[in-house]
Amino acid sequence: MSKRFWLVIGLAALVVMLAVAGCGQQQAANQKVIKIGLIAPLTGDVKTFGESTKNAVELALEQAGYKAGDYTIQLIEQDDANDPTQATNVATKLITQDGVKAIIGSVTSKTTIPISEVAQANKVVEITSTATNPKVTVDNGQRKDYVFRACFIDPFQGKVAAKFALDQLHAKTASVIYDKGNDYTVGLAQYFMDTFKAGGGQILTEDTYTVNDTDFSAILAKVAKAKPDILYLPDYYQKVSLIGQQARDAGIKAIFMGGDGWDSSDLNYAVMAGGYFTNHYSPEDTRPEVQKWVQDYKAKYGSTPDALATLAYDATNLLLNAIKTANSDDPTAIRDALAATKDFPAVSGKITFDQDGNPIKPAVILKVTYDPQTKQGGTQFVASVAP
Amino acid sequence: MHYLLQQIVNGLQLGLIYALIALGYTMVYGIIKLINFAHGDVFMVGAFLGYYGFAVYHLPFYLAVVIAMIGCAILGVTIEFLAYRPLRYAPRIAALITAIGVSLFLEYFSSLKFAFGPDYRTVPRPFTEIHWQIAGTTITNTQVIVAVVVVVLLAFLQFLIYHTKVGKAMRAVSFDHDAARLMGINVNTVISATFGLGSALAAAGGTLYAVAYPQIWPFMGIMPGLKAFTAAVLGGIGNIPGAVLGSLLMGQIEVLTAGFISSNFRDVIAFSVLILVLLVRPAGLLGQAGPEKV
């Protein structure tokens, strides 16, 4: 027998197997299947956010056995690379080509706002895990009623940070630097400044940059001259690490503060050590929901879940619960079930939605730590602040 | 006063790095009248090669710079040979579009997982940080290293162009291709050498940039490339001292605007100055037809 003969036999076998597998899928389709999309930044400047989110969503679905009520869940994952244009494209693809009934995601406000427009226009349920900007669920006073989130919103986060700086750190002055093209950083900076000023503090300098900037020396020289108590940096971990490094180079001694965008293992702990940031949960929390979740996540992925993972887990469970309650694949029924959610025992707190689709729950403040001997960085729970 | 001095030091660091990139634009333009839009991406490849050298393989810093320069010189020569040489006598717009294509190719190819990958990388400092307080101004050893490396490379370039045979040939080719060829100069070799040299300078710029602003990713070359190109035009494209002057000016304008007016107006004012200069002197600050062109 020639080699070619076996090759042909092999190929034929493969074709038959594929055909059978195809039929298998066909049969499964006769059961009740509901397609869910996941959009997350799996590459780009906030890829650890996307990875944590994806891990958590998969873990939540696995624990539910890919089932909700009578429906089998089919998950379709898409990468938005933290780019608003790509986010719009993949959302459109998920809805029009794949026919998903609900979308989990995305992670950042700047990608989630355009996705929410697409979801609302197509009447598909969207639940974002961590997009904290108010505009995600409300646009010009108009509620996007198919859109929900599992996290608190920027006004609350900015307020908590400013109050903490004033009351606990006894700060009198602050400087703020933020990305003027990012809804998230603009929102945080604005609410931080308003609250800080209202509380008797003084904002010494306010500066902006754009997403591609890497040289902050001019802005930081200004900050170094003003000598504030606090330097508020409400951006994602990459940018914050870069600014932090240059701030220390410029001889700035201020305490760094920021928001949940800092929560990443890729944060430059050595530079940011001693800084504080507002976050959604602390793995040190002793509630049983938290401890079980931390254990489950560690068992599967070998690391402590960050807030991104935790909220993605909560978002997935909220959605699964709504599909189960509605026991339907009609997005409008799922939406109604989600809106009616009451005291859902999520990891990040008991969740009830307000009329804008935002959960009402507390924030925590974490301190960045770094041990120069072991070169290990981490976070330490400082306080929990209720709304 | 101290504050002004501090901002000028900051602007100097930025301007010197722009200068290394701007030289590549201006040299290539001087010799084949092509705006090589892929140059910013060669700068990016240089930053990555330098990063791999001193951060991943732990080579001594200066060796890492030299390796990055050699690597990018080869890249530059290859780009010229594959993409621009076949279009040498085609309409100028064809070569320009090709340059944009090469630029996009380098960016997206570098983003692939088996190349550099699409993620941001934090660059560890190759030296322990030292801060000096001189006359109330903070100066870091990074700034000193950037300044020293750039000045040494500029001196080397000056020597190469005005005191060696290759330099003489470059000046001749930029003056007139055909006459140079008649004089027995191998025009293709000289153009290759120009690309190699310009790319090597960009690589040095990239490595220094990665040290000064410690974060790199495959799209990092776009903005510095654009700014350096603007600086080259400001100084008079095709003119080497002009590129350095334009870059230093760009650095100062950016930093002083952000420092004294508002960071919101930084790019607006930088580019407004460019437009004003070009209105008054369309050839740029030092741009004029003359034997200095390379």
> In this model, does residue A311 exceed pLDDT 90?
yes
Any domain includes A189: yes
Distance from the Cα of B97 to chain A's closest Cα (Å) equals 24
List, in order, residues 6 or more apart from A172 with CB less than 8 Å away: A201, A202, A229
Residues of B in contact with A212 (CB under 8 A): 219, 222-223
A95 interfaces chain B, CB cutoff of 8 Å: no
Task: Indicate whether A380 and A252 sit together in one domain.
Answer: yes
**How large is the angle between the packed helices B39-51 and B222-235, nearest 10 degrees?**
130
Task: Indicate whether A238 and A190 sit together in one domain.
Answer: yes
Task: Indicate whether A207 and A239 sit together in one domain.
Answer: yes
Mean pLDDT is lowest, of A48-52, A120-124, B125-129, B144-148, for B125-129
Amino acid letter at B185? I
Any domain includes A6: no
Any domain includes A5: no
What does the pLDDT read at residue A293?
93
**Residue A209 domain boundaries:** 155-279+365-385
Any domain includes A18: no
* A18 pLDDT tier (thresholds 50, 70, 90): low
User: Which H or E element spans position B24?
Assistant: helix B2-32
Mutate to test the interface with A, among B5, B10, B211 (most CBs of A within 10 A): B10
Contact A209 B263 (CB under 8 A): yes
The stretches of A211-276 forming alpha helices (DSSP H) are 217-226, 237-249, 269-272
The CATH number linked to A113 is: 3.40.50.2300
Distance from the Cα of A83 to chain B's closest Cα (Å) equals 13
Any domain includes A1: no
Task: Indicate whether A40 and A112 sit together in one domain.
Answer: yes
Task: Indicate whether A380 and A247 sit together in one domain.
Answer: yes
List, in order, residues 6 or more apart from A104 with CB less than 8 Å away: A36, A37, A38, A39, A57, A126, A127, A128, A129, A312, A315, A316, A319
> In this model, does residue A1 exceed pLDDT 60?
no
Higher-confidence residue: A87 or A2? A87
Task: Indicate whether A64 and A209 sit together in one domain.
Answer: no
What does the pLDDT read at residue A24?
46
Distance from the Cα of A140 to chain B's closest Cα (Å) equals 26
SS3 B44: helix
The answer to whether residues B192 and B126 touch, using CB atoms and an 8 Å cutoff, is no
Task: Indicate whether A144 and A163 sit together in one domain.
Answer: no
Using one digit for the tens of pLDDT, what is the confidence trace for A216-241? 989 999 999 999 999 999 999 989 99
List, in order, residues 6 or more apart from A105 with CB less than 8 Å away: A37, A38, A39, A40, A53, A80, A112, A115, A126, A128, A129
**CATH number for the segment(s) B2-123+141-280:** 1.10.3470
List, in order, residues 6 or more apart from A77 with CB less than 8 Å away: A37, A38, A40, A42, A54
Residues of B in contact with A251 (CB under 8 A): 131, 138
Mean pLDDT of A58-77: 92
Give dist(CA B144, CA B152) in Å, integer: 12
Using one digit for the tens of pLDDT, what is the confidence trace for B267-280? 888 888 888 988 98
Task: Indicate whether A146 and A165 sit together in one domain.
Answer: no
Task: Indicate whether A86 and A107 sit together in one domain.
Answer: yes
Task: Indicate whether A127 and A160 sit together in one domain.
Answer: no
Give dist(CA A183, CA A200) in Å, integer: 26
Contact B129 A81 (CB under 8 A): no
User: Which H or E element spans position B180?
Assistant: helix B177-182
SS3 B132: strand
CB count within 10 Å of CB A83 equals 17
Residues of B in contact with A43 (CB under 8 A): 111, 118-119
Task: Indicate whether A377 and A257 sit together in one domain.
Answer: yes
* A27 pLDDT tier (thresholds 50, 70, 90): very low
B266 interfaces chain A, CB cutoff of 8 Å: yes
The total number of structural domains that make up chain A: 2
Task: Indicate whether A76 and A165 sit together in one domain.
Answer: no
What does the pLDDT read at residue A16?
57
Higher-confidence residue: A6 or A276? A276
State which residue of chain B sits closest to A223, comparing Cα positions: B259
Any domain includes A22: no
> In this model, does residue A94 exceed pLDDT 90?
yes
- For chain B, the structural domain boundaries read 2-123+141-280
Contact A218 B10 (CB under 8 A): yes
State which residue of chain A sits closest to B10, comparing Cα positions: A217
Contact A268 B11 (CB under 8 A): no
Interface A-B, measured as beta-carbon pairs within 8 A, has a size of 84
The answer to whether residues A71 and A33 touch, using CB atoms and an 8 Å cutoff, is yes
Using one digit for the tens of pLDDT, what is the confidence trace for B60-102? 999 999 999 999 999 999 999 999 999 988 888 899 999 999 9
Any domain includes A16: no
Distance from the Cα of A171 to chain B's closest Cα (Å) equals 24
